[in-house]
Chains A and B, each alone.
Chain A
Amino acid sequence: MNQNLLLCGVGGQGIVLVSKLVASCAMQKGYDVMSAETIGMAQKGGSVFSFLRFGEEIASPMFGRGQADLMIAFEPAEAVRMLPYLKKDGCIIVNTKPVMPVTAVLKASAYQGTEMLAYLKQNVSRLILVNGEKACHEIGSPRVLNMIMLGTAVRHGLLPFSVSEAETAMRQNVRPQFAELNQKALAYAESEK
């Protein structure tokens, strides 16, 4: 059985690292892994994604709409944008903090993120909300959102490996001076709403 994961968010949120860690854990489990992600200009504040698949017989690194078993969305509007890729009964983890694009700030537009969350609540049966802003604040760094999101997915049993396996992969992939902080974020347990 293949598993399809879709990560999405805004350039600069650290999605690529999460994709790497999931891939490395899945490889450890003996799966074949393929992934595809946004690289290039869109990484500068644009919408970014990473498709990741593991299992036995995978032909393509990308998959079509309605095929993601799990989506980890780092931003509410990006979750909505990519929602068509989620399976009918798929699960989605969403960071509730919106990232305002410059275009929206300039136009003093109404985008707040709450309208996106309301839409998600109406249309997704398995929705897990993460208050990323609060979590980052409690951990003491604005740059650990990615580990908080990964930790949440693992703790909910949505990925076939444990928090400590994710931690091992993380330690192999981040600079030693950031390992402690990232470990805290991976292990961060937010009371569910």
Chain B
Amino acid sequence: MHKEFLMGNAAIARGALAAGLNLICGYPGTPSTEVLETAAKYKPETLYVEWSVNEKAALEVGAGAAYCGSRTMVTMKQVGLNVASDPLMSLAYIGVKGGMVIMVADDPGPISSQTEQDTRHFASFSKLPCFDPSTVQEAYDMIQDAFAYSETYHTPVLFRPTTRVCHAYSSVMIKDPEEFYHNTPEGFIKDSSRWVIFPKLSYQAHMQIEKRNAELSAVFSDYAGNQILPAAKTDCRKGIASHGISFTYVKEALKDRENPAVLKISTPFPFPEQKALAFLQNLDEVLCIEELDPVIERELTYLCGKHHLPVRILGKLSGHIRTAGENTCDSVSQDIASFMGWENPEEHKLPEPPALPVRPPVLCAGCPHRASFYAVKTAMKGKKSVFCGDIGCYTLGNAMPLDMVDTCLCMGAGVNITQGIGHTEPDTACFAFVGDSTFFASAITGAVNAVYNQADMTLVVLDNSTTAMTGHQPHPGTGRTMMGEIVQKISIEDVLKGVGVKTVETVNPFSLQEAVGTVKKISAEKGVKAIIFKSPCAMLIKPQQILEVDQQKCIGCRKCITSLGCPAIVTADGKVKTDDSLCTGCGLCAQVCPVGAIGRAET
């Protein structure tokens, strides 16, 4: 064993490697992405790693490997599990041979997600065991347990950390390579009574699953991750139940306190009933401190009913804990103080500060999406149009002054939503914007749908040759794999032409005039047509010579500012200037300035 300073996601990957991981696949999504990246970085010879095209593909690839006896991990964020839910529900019935852990990161807040859904519900819905770690160290240890349980019970298991565990860093004790478990897959053994799902098999499997879960509830009652921290003073009749990162906030809040007793739940499903019953003995009231949904609160309420226990269970359902958003050290210590009747810790009161500037996230300086949005906006000025966005950095195109995202729902939705709008409002010019990674993940079927159903729309693919939002992962269009191979790039243009899109034009958005011209021409055509704006992500290329505003020429019209919103254009002492620490020299502002006041800085 030795100590290292690791991010939660890195610890999960390193733990999986220590557990003899043979295959890992997934789709990037904050806060889950670094798990697969770390596994790739520390990749042993025998490990296969891939970014799959989407979560459904990943889960199916993982299932195939697990059928062969591989230890397999599939990674995604919580909304990714929605995409993978079809294979998930069936795989729960079929089961696996090799240990299979589906790592799904939840995002209370939400900090970088569309929803605050709780994967613990997916666990009970799909009837799969679920692990919920509290700390980076626990994540490292628990992922190894998860593989062991999965293999023992021949079932995939869910492992669901939340953002504050995934992205926390901590010094952790980890195994040396000699201590690693090694798994040699047996290979696929044909057996259609095992691997082919049929109603009869499902009926039997369903009975088995319910039996197994009842057994697991008992087994988990003895699992080390489920703990009762007793109160020092045994006469205290109040208790706290918690989980995940909130449990660490509870510990912080109870530092130097003698009570109350605390129940920590690390396996929300199957719920460790015996453990919980032991905790509920001799208590009058329990406060459940949870993030996302009141899963523990419902379980405890149910247990009290089932066993006629006179314990009041409080939490989100009872109105004692806020129903949405993440917990913090402060919120938890206040919740506990009011529950216990303690005085709230005295706060150091500060006078009202001056108005603080708001800082919504914005497209980076030099981002090609800014140029693309601006080109479409300029071309469509004065025409009735709708701009359906999608998931990625380019969602930020909604911000002022671009204001070019009218809808955003989920991965790949924009291309279909725009069709629905078009069928209802035929006089509207319908656009859908989609990034290159999202295109491959889930917009191709939308394009096929549009062609088949005779939609009238323009698909705008913002191709920056990477998956930028989640930190630059390769995808089918980049020609690189996570195994380090250079492979044939899948051409977005060829795919679109292949599914019947007649007009597909590729243009560099930084050639502003040409880009505007292309949009005008193409959007006027009938049917489904596509524009590919191709220019690499600003984070991936070396900045060029920066641009400067010639103060003699500048007339102070602020057109550069009000049309583009580039963070590198600032005002100081009433003058418009570029910020040399941010400007990438993309040249867009120079094409917008009416008097040619912006040009390359002298070297």
Contact = CB atoms under 8 A, between A and B. Distances in A.
Interface of A: 10-12, 19, 23-24, 27, 31-37, 39-47, 59-67, 77, 80-81, 83-84, 87-88, 100-106, 108-109, 111, 115-116, 119, 122-123, 136, 142-143
Given A12-B582, A27-B5, A35 B252 contact: no
Contact of A106 (B111, B164, B251, B562): B562
14 contacts: A31-B171, A33-B170, A36-B168, A44-B363, A46-B359, A46-B361, A64-B333, A66-B347, A101-B357, A101-B359, A102-B565, A102-B567, A115-B354, A136-B581
B223 to A, nearest CB: 20
* CB-based closest 10 A-B pairs: A142-B581, A60-B248, A64-B329, A40-B112, A59-B251, A61-B168, A44-B361, A64-B330, A35-B169, A46-B361
Contact of B362 (A63, A102, A108): A102
B169 A33 contact: yes
Interface stretch (B372-380, B394-402, B414-422, B588-596): B394-402
Size range of the chain B interface in the assembly: 35 or more
A100 B360 CA distance: 12
B361 A45 contact: yes
Contacts of A43: 361
Given A37-B167, A44-B396, A123 B112 contact: no
Interface in B331-369: 333, 345, 347-348, 350-351, 353-364
A143 B579 CA distance: 12
A144 to B, nearest CB: 10
B13 interface: no
A62 B165 CA distance: 11
Given A23-B5, A45-B361, A106-B400, A34 B350 contact: no
Highest count of chain A CB atoms <10 Å: which of B164, B248, B581: B581
Nearest to A133: B581
Contacts, number: 159
Given A27-B171, A37-B167, A60-B248, A44 B364 contact: yes
Contacts of B267: none
A23 B400 contact: no
B350 A33 contact: no
Nearest to A54: B171
Interface string B197-241: 000000000000000000000000000000000000000000000
A108 B451 CA distance: 46
B356 A61 contact: no
Interface string B445-465: 000000000000000000000
B30 interface: yes
B353 A119 contact: yes
Contacts of A108: 558, 571
B354 A119 contact: yes
B333 A34 contact: no
Contact of B358 (A23, A103, A136): A103
Contacts of B362: 44-45, 101-102
Given A40-B112, A64-B333, A105-B561, A80 B354 contact: yes
Interface in B250-300: 251-252, 255
Interface string B557-573: 01001100111011100
- Residue from B251, B354, B569 with most neighbouring chain A CB atoms (10 Å): B354
A63 B328 CA distance: 8
Nearest to A90: B348
A44 B582 CA distance: 12
Given A62-B329, A64-B333, 13 more contacts: A41-B396, A44-B362, A44-B363, A45-B359, A46-B360, A59-B252, A84-B347, A84-B350, A101-B567, A102-B565, A105-B569, A108-B558, A111-B357
B3 interface: yes
Contacts of A35: 168-170
Given A44-B363, A105-B571, A123 B350 contact: yes
